[in-house]
A and B are shown apart, each in its own frame.
Chain A
Amino acid sequence: MVEMIGAKALIQALEKEGVDIVFGLPGGANLPIYDALVEANFRHILVRHEQSAAHMADGYARIKRKAGVCFATSGPGATNLITGIATAYADSSPMVAVTGQVPTAMIGKDAFQETDIIGVANPCTKYAFQPRSPNEIPETIKKAFYIAESGRPGPVLVDIPKDVQQGSADMSFPEFIKVRGYSPVIDADLSQLGRAVEILYNASGL
């Protein structure tokens, strides 16, 4: 357990996931994340429009076969990601999109650059997280990558309110996590495979 601010925990959690590049664009609501990025071990690519950040993360994921990561600020930054996220969802591409959000006390009050991005992203993501306290960040990131990359891959959104990025806490980075409602099947049922073999064996030529 080490004490650090949420933004730093985010960067470390990403490093632990083996992230070597992120694509993003900073704004008011993710400034703390961008400050922590200065010391990050991975590369940051500055985009000219957040939609491209999501598409770049998608293209990266399709070749690397692990989650591509993109960053955006709250409000219009986050909504600009949506086309890219929906593209990844429709094509089952693994992606973790991290957006800034207005401080928790301002949520739901139509603050500057606020949108209900969780609501907007829900139908086009495998899952959308919104950690409400800094110590939730390490586990949230680990779960996000697990969900994005396993089973039928897909995009996961992590929406971090600004005060959660700035707040300090004792962080522990879990080795293993379990997501109760999620158990992707890896090994097929052998009897079904047996039936397939039967059919294929008997399938004729012209």
Chain B
Amino acid sequence: MPKTASPMNSVVEKVNGWHILSAMLENKPGVLFRVTNLFRARNFNIESITVGLTEQPDLSRMTITLISDERTLDQLVKQLRKLIDVVEVKVLDAEKTVYRELALIKMKAEDPTTRMEITNFASIFRANILDIGKETITVELTGTPDKIDAFKNLVDHFGIAQLARTGVSALQRGRGQ
């Protein structure tokens, strides 16, 4: 039987890092499809993706977070730039960027002690309580992905009924675009 293809450049060390990209896209139907289809077809594994309107009505801003090595990141950026509806792609320096994510977390909260603990945590994390019922409490939390992970880990043992995260949006600090 023939051998299958050997891995490319196996001598190169692959060190993974967490990266944020910001892309400006034409605000037209079908653009999101082209972008996500590209990720699928070229096997890029994305952690989160958000897209929304910007200060210019004909452009959308897309924020992507992923874990990858430098070489994969380089290819992803180049392939994205190649798409005609992608106007610009920037790899953001996490230190020079403000980035936030929104999470809605519904926790089981039947007994009074649990409810009090949850309320305390919410206050410490500056989360808003959106809904309180006999069996559950739902909070809204905005912050970096790490902050959201931290809150989630704290409340895990209460039992998380449902969790919805938006993915990261980001802007460069200062005057940078």
Contacts and interface: CB of A to CB of B under 8 A. Distances in A.
A147 B37 CA distance: 20
Given A118-B30, A180-B26, A123 B87 contact: no
Q: Chain A binding site: helix, strand, loop or mixed by DSSP?
A: mixed
B37 A181 contact: no
Contacts of B15: none
Interface of B, helix, strand, loop or mixed by DSSP? mixed
A19 B147 CA distance: 60
A47 B37 CA distance: 32
B34 interface: yes
Interface string A107-150: 00000000000110011001100000000000000000001000
A137 to B, nearest CB: 17
A176 interface: no
Contacts of B25: 181
A136 to B, nearest CB: 12
Contact of A127 (B37, B41, B84, B87): B84
A146 B7 CA distance: 37
B37 A122 contact: yes
Nearest to B38: A123
A181 B34 CA distance: 14
A180 B30 contact: no
Interface in B1-47: 25-26, 30, 33-34, 37, 41
A180 B87 contact: yes
A196 interface: no
Given A118-B30, A180-B26, A181-B26, A126 B84 contact: yes
Contacts, number: 23
A122 B83 contact: no
Counting chain B CB atoms within 10 Å of each CB, the highest count among A119, A181, A182 belongs to: A181
Contact of A123 (B30, B41, B86, B88): B41
B85 interface: yes
Contact of A181 (B30, B33, B41, B83): B83
Contacts of B33: 119, 122
Contacts of A181: 25-26, 83-88
Contacts of B88: 181
B57 to A, nearest CB: 14
Contacts of A118: 30
Give the interface size bracket for B toward A. 10 to 19
Contacts of A179: 84
Contacts of A127: 84
**Most interface-central of B33, B34, B88 (chain A CB within 10 A):** B34
B18 to A, nearest CB: 27
Contacts of A122: 30, 33-34, 37
B90 to A, nearest CB: 14
A147 B84 CA distance: 9
A179 to B, nearest CB: 6
Interface in A178-203: 179-182
Contacts of A182: 84
B37 A123 contact: yes
A175 B173 CA distance: 40
Interface of B: 25-26, 30, 33-34, 37, 41, 83-88
10 closest Cβ pairs, A-B complex? A181-B87, A182-B84, A127-B84, A181-B84, A181-B86, A180-B87, A181-B85, A123-B41, A122-B34, A123-B37
8 contacts: A122-B30, A123-B37, A126-B84, A147-B84, A181-B83, A181-B84, A181-B87, A181-B88
